[in-house]
Amino acid sequence: MALRPGFVDAVGRAELAAAIEACRRAPGPGFRILSPPGRPLVISDRDRAADVAAIGRLARAGTGLAAGAFGSTSAVLLEDQWFLSEAGAGTPSPWHQDQPFLPVEPFFVTIWIPLDPPPGRDSLRAIPGSQRGPLYAPADFSSDAPEPGGDWESGRTAPMFAPALSPGDAVLIDSRVLHATGGFCPAPFRRISLRYAPPDARLSPRPWPVAERWRLLAGAAGGPLPLSLPRIAAD
């Protein structure tokens, strides 16, 4: 895990906020409502870098951070995803790893960027060293199902990575690291996740359901990532 303060400036954040509103008016196939019925909305849309200019610019800028983490000169953009919690929302993202959701090995990185002031210090929490532990089945983001691996917070004494973040900061998270977000949102809270794989990453089917896009791609077990995924050189 690593923190890059001020990665997106105020102008960039305003452009991305406008881009999210444009996506809300014209949702893509990856649009989802993540909050339970009757509660303030938590929504998300995915894979908009190709058709929304501001998200595309951010995806290209994030390549340098990802490539640096991989020790390479390029990275493969797996997906981009924004989230919006309306004022009053308190639906958390449960403890989870990103790795189970994508059939990619050996790992990838997620760059998590808040566009608004995060709702409290515990808006992003991670467990250092958990990338060396087991891989859990995907968490269910839209229900009250038990979290993978049990309760990670009650009675915990080991340090937890919970940085004080400002809008525009970027946090790099290894896809195998257990992490969670959440907290009551007194105001709308927008954030974006970018996911990148190293150039030599391979496809590896999962023993549980994955998104249809990845289910179709993962048919070639052990094969290279498809050329349809953007390979971006770091500036």
pLDDT attached to residue 36:
86
Question: Does the domain spanning 2-131+160-220 belong to CATH 3.90.1640.10?
Answer: no
Q: Please tell me the pTM assigned to this model.
A: 0.87
Give, for all 235 residues of the chain, the pLDDT tens digit.
789 999 999 999 999 999 999 999 999 999 999 888 999 999 999 999 999 999 999 999 999 999 999 999 999 999 999 999 999 988 677 788 888 888 888 999 999 999 999 987 557 888 888 888 888 777 665 555 545 555 555 555 567 788 889 999 999 999 999 988 877 889 999 999 999 999 999 888 777 777 767 766 655 566 778 777 888 888 7
Tokens representing 15 are: 């452009």
Burial 85-124 (b: 16+ CB within 10 A, else e): bbeebebbbbbbbbbbbbbbeebbbbbbbbbbebbeeebb
Indicate the domain borders of the chain: 2-131+160-220
Place of tokens 């080991």: 158
Short-list 32, 42, 80, 82, CA closest to 183 = 42
pLDDT attached to residue 187:
92
